[in-house]
């Protein structure tokens, strides 16, 4: 009898030791990069998971500090933006690398993605400060257009210079992606294999959710519900750009924060564009670029790019998908009825 009790105790101990090793979700939420950032780590080691989340958040905050054009913090983006055409500015290594990547995506998207729209973005006033209520005058828009253009910045041996004073770099459409990638890098350095970083709907996934894939909802651009979802069980990023994120209505027309570099005004072709790519940096930049670019040109580009898929919700609320997206996107009933 005694022997059985001992045996039973052993098995129970074994089970409880085993269950304390079982993976579970550890979550933390921070406000940074102008949005709510949610970290989820699926792991058995709580101490490790929470430490990794702290470090990932710190790495993401460092990206915000390096790229922000607001607040008191000094960075090389502000130095460049304030510089005169005679000055050569040495950008921080991360800033220079992201600028080169941004110029590359500018070329791929036929100019639709443009990191030199700082003056125009400020004119429209969607980032920082009081939200606007009326659109700027045509005269001010053409003034803003004059102070933009990738052809007006130059890479020299010692750094970067601009042809016209007043030209401002703006990484608002790509730096959040870089921050997410840096956060995921930290998770990898900690040896974590299952995690997700969600920065206001812009997501990168590491591994899967144990035996399950992660399920990522895509927002409906006009309803407080999901358009559909994607199930992801591998390292991937999913980022959406939409005209519902920052906007106001004026005389029945919607004015939002994604500008067409050709007109200097909010792009009019789409309500939202979702991009899947290996990194959040690429997905972030491409979702903004494809939002501006015509759907046909955008589709041609996506079909050519390895590992990239996209979903467009056009101004008519019609959904269009690249070939790979069709195989993984589950449309919700609400969106179906449209
Ligand atoms: P996202 O939400 O990633 O689409 O980025 C939008 C933000 O990027 C805006 O708030 C601006 O700061 C900036 N932006 C607006 N239009 C463009 C554009 N055509 N190319 C690059 N950045 C842009
Ligand atoms: Mg973007």
Q: Report whether CATH 3.30.1490.190 matches the domain 1-338.
A: no
Nearest-angstrom CA–CA distance, 4 and 93: 66
- The single residue listed with the structure tokens 């290996």 is 278
Nearest-angstrom CA–CA distance, 51 and 129: 34
Nearest-angstrom CA–CA distance, 95 and 160: 11
Query: Residue-wise pLDDT tens for the chain (338 aa)?
Result: 333 333 332 333 333 333 347 999 999 999 999 999 999 999 999 999 999 999 999 999 999 999 999 989 999 999 999 999 999 999 999 999 999 999 999 999 999 999 999 999 999 988 766 667 889 999 999 999 999 999 999 999 999 999 999 999 999 999 999 999 999 999 999 999 999 999 999 999 999 998 899 999 999 999 999 999 999 988 999 999 999 988 888 899 999 999 999 999 999 999 999 999 999 999 999 999 999 998 999 999 999 999 999 999 999 999 999 999 999 999 998 666 55
pLDDT recorded at residue 126: 84
Ligand 1: centre distance to CA 241 (Å): 9
Burial track 155-192 (b if 16+ CB lie within 10 A, e otherwise): eeeebbbbeeebbbbbbbbbbbbbbbbbbbebbeebeb
Nearest-angstrom CA–CA distance, 239 and 225: 17
43 in Cβ contact with 194 (< 8 Å): yes
- Residues contacting residue 104 through CB under 8 Å, at least 6 positions apart: none
Ligand 1 atom closest to the CA of 245, numbered from 1:
2
Residue 199 burial (CB count, 10 A): 25
Nearest-angstrom CA–CA distance, 141 and 263: 8
Nearest-angstrom CA–CA distance, 82 and 165: 8
Nearest-angstrom CA–CA distance, 196 and 20: 22
Ligand 2: centre distance to CA 171 (Å): 9
Nearest-angstrom CA–CA distance, 192 and 47: 12
> Could you tell me the two tokens for 280?
């959040």
What are the residue boundaries of the structural domains of the chain, listed by start?
Answer: 1-338
What is the per-residue pLDDT across 106-122, written as a single tens digit (0 to 9) for each?
A: 999 999 999 999 999 99
Beta bridge partners of 238: 203, 276
What is the per-residue pLDDT across 55-68, written as a single tens digit (0 to 9) for each?
A: 999 999 999 999 99
Burial class (CB in 10 A: 0-12, 13-18, 19+), 229: middle
Q: 3-class secondary structure for 196-249? A: EEEECCEEEEECCECCECEEEEEECCCCCCEEEEEEECCCEEEEEEECCCCEEE
Beta bridge partners of 43: 24
- Residues contacting residue 246 through CB under 8 Å, at least 6 positions apart: 126, 127, 131, 256, 257
Nearest-angstrom CA–CA distance, 219 and 272: 9
Out of 168, 258, 265, give the residue to mutate to test ligand 1, the one with the largest number of ligand atoms within 8 Å of its CB: 258
> Could you tell me the two tokens for 17?
């030791």
> Could you tell me the two tokens for 261?
């570099």
Burial track 117-127 (b if 16+ CB lie within 10 A, e otherwise): bbbbbbbbbbb
* Ligand 1 proximal residues by C-beta, below 6 Å: 112-115, 117, 121, 126-127, 170, 172-173, 241, 245, 257-259, 261, 284, 287-288, 292
What is the per-residue pLDDT across 219-276, written as a single tens digit (0 to 9) for each?
A: 999 999 999 999 998 899 999 999 998 888 889 999 999 999 999 999 999 999 999 9
Ligand in closest contact with the CA of 283: 2
pTM of this prediction? 0.92
């Amino acid at each position: 009898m005694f022997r059985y009790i001992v045996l039973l105790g052993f098995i129970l101990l074994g089970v409880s030791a085993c269950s304390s090793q079982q993976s579970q979700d550890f979550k933390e939420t921070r406000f940074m990069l102008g949005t709510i950032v949610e970290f989820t780590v699926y792991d058995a080691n709580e101490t490790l998971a929470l430490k990794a989340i702290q470090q990932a958040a710190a790495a993401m905050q460092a990206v915000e500090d390096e790229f922000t054009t607001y607040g008191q913090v000094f960075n090389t983006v502000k130095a460049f933006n304030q510089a005169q055409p005679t000055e050569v500015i040495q950008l921080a290594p991360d800033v220079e690398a992201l600028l080169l990547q941004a110029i590359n995506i500018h070329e791929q998207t036929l100019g639709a993605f443009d990191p030199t729209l700082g003056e125009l973005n400020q004119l429209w006033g969607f980032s920082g400060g009081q939200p606007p209520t009326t659109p700027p005058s045509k005269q001010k828009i053409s003034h803003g257009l004059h102070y933009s253009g990738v052809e007006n910045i130059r890479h020299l041996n010692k750094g970067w210079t601009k042809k016209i004073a007043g030209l401002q770099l703006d990484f608002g459409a790509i730096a959040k992606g870089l921050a997410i990638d840096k956060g995921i890098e930290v998770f990898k350095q900690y040896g974590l294999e299952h995690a997700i970083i969600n920065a206001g709907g812009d997501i990168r996934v590491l591994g899967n959710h144990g035996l399950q894939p992660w399920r990522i909802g895509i927002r409906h651009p006009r309803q407080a519900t999901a358009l559909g979802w994607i199930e992801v069980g591998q390292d991937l990023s999913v980022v959406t750009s939409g005209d519902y994120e920052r906007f106001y209505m004026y005389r029945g027309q919607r004015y939002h924060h994604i500008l067409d570099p050709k007109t200097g005004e909010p792009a009019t072709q789409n309500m939202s564009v979702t991009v899947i790519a290996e990194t959040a940096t690429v997905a972030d930049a491409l979702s903004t670029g494809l939002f501006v670019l015509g759907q046909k040109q955008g589709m041609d580009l996506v079909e050519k790019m390895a590992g990239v898929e996209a979903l467009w919700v056009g101004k008519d609320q019609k959904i269009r998908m690249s070939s790979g997206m069709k195989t993984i996107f589950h449309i919700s009933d609400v969106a179906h009825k449209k």
